[in-house]
Amino acid sequence: MLGSPALAARCDGTAIGARFSEAARLCDAPAASPDTIHVASPAPVFASEPVSVTMPGYRARLAAAVRQVRQTENRAAVNGRQVATDALIAAVGRRYRIDPHLLASMMSAESAGNPGAVSNKGALGLMQVMPGTARSLGVKNPSQLLTNPVLAVTTGAAYLKKLQAQFGNNVPLVVAAYNAGPGAVVRYRGVPRYRETQGYVGRVMNGYLSRRSGAAGGGVGR
């Protein structure tokens, strides 16, 4: 359940573990105004300002991942299309200051890692970005999201960061806005009561927790 303590973003760190980097400071900030958007749970809502997911202990590994992405010439492929590797996800996460485990979980929920995925609504690629959204983020030819995994993951991360600037540190809210659109989150003042979105947020958050708990044993995309 999305409103359960296991999925709520809490200041005490007992729920999702990784939070946006300024979360600890914001937990001590004055209470939000009554108009602040929130999930229907006891979880506090942090200030709506552009902040970032922390990656404690990952710096050395992420720096190595960036070097690996730049140096490698051999890339895995599915049906002739290059796919996103753990190193790429880690490098994009480092660039946008987003936990790579969150990016990996969202990619899994969006496309199951299929670089050529196209939804029935027209969303494209690994991160299932709509063409209009991609153009608004500076992608001149959105069809390239189907053939360029670096562009696909980067575009998804850029959109996630844009939503984070609007909804702040509440990870389930940001994830819900990625799926249902920010307007729906505003209307519902929390995670929209759409079956698809409720299921999507649950899958992403559970995958995120699982990846973080297994981080010591392997790559980010497991």
Q: Which residues are catalytic?
A: 110
Q: Is the dihedral of CA 161, 154, 137, 156 positive or negative?
A: negative
User: Distance (Å, rounded) from C-alpha 90 to C-alpha 77?
Assistant: 18
User: Distance (Å, rounded) from C-alpha 39 to C-alpha 219?
Assistant: 31
Q: Is 8 helix (H, G, I), strand (E, B) or coil?
A: coil
- On the 0-12 / 13-18 / 19+ scale of CB atoms within 10 A, 82 is middle
Which segments within 44-141 are labelled E, that is strand? 77-78, 81-82
Tokens of residue 27, six digits: 């937990």
